[in-house]
Amino acid sequence: MSCCEHEHEEVLPEFAKVGQKVPEFTLEAFDPTEGGFCEVDLGALRKEGKWAILFFYPADFTFVCPTELADLATKHKELADLGAEVISVSTDTKFTHLAWKNDERLLADVTFKMAADPTGEVSRFFDVWDYDTGQALRGTFVINPEGLLVSSEVNFYNVGRNADELFRKMDANNYLKDHPDEACPAKWTPGSKTLTPSEKLVGKVYEALND
């Protein structure tokens, strides 16, 4: 993983961990919007104040994967409106991404960048690398504009994800960025009540949500 240099030496975790900073790195990618190849640069996204959503999946030209990317495409604009850059990632090359995008009709509406991790280096850092297959498990990671990993989800090969739930979690994390003293309860959606942790809330969560 190509990490950027820092003035002060930084001790990086062996694996990505929620609540810790993710090192800056770059990946080659296919950009369906431009129809050509590009580079995904986590450091550049950070400087732009963007969130990054990394959406790992096992392989192009497989079965559950195109249904997931098609589902993610339905929420791409809404995620972008929250300031998030959506990036799908697999261990396929950028050339395979291009061919798959052109062949698979389910991917017709995919416009987010499709990054290539053929060495598995980034997949190993996010602990989704399967050493038996050389593929990545279904992992979704949300990184805030300060570079902290705030959400992590990993599924096995045979269970697809839900972009609606990803959007809900992204919406909640975006809200909490501006309201750090609050917390979002289960199934929180914009306009719903939040919680403000304190000694007064202990044993009184029901009352706080239903007064």
* Residues labelled as active-site residues: 65
Dig out the tokens for 25 from the structure.
């790195």
Alpha-carbon distances of 207 from 38, 180, 182, 186, rounded to whole Å? 52, 22, 16, 15
Tell me yes or no: is domain 26-164 CATH 2.160.20.60: no
Query: Is the pLDDT score of 175 beyond 90?
Result: yes
Distance (Å, rounded) from C-alpha 81 to C-alpha 62? 30
pLDDT tens digits along 58-106: 999 999 999 999 999 999 999 999 999 999 999 999 999 999 999 999 9
Relative to beta strand 138-143, strand 36-41 is unpaired
pLDDT tens digits along 12-30: 568 999 999 999 999 999 9
Dig out the tokens for 130 from the structure.
């399967």
What are the structural domain ranges in the chain?
26-164, 179-211
Relative to beta strand 84-90, strand 113-116 is parallel
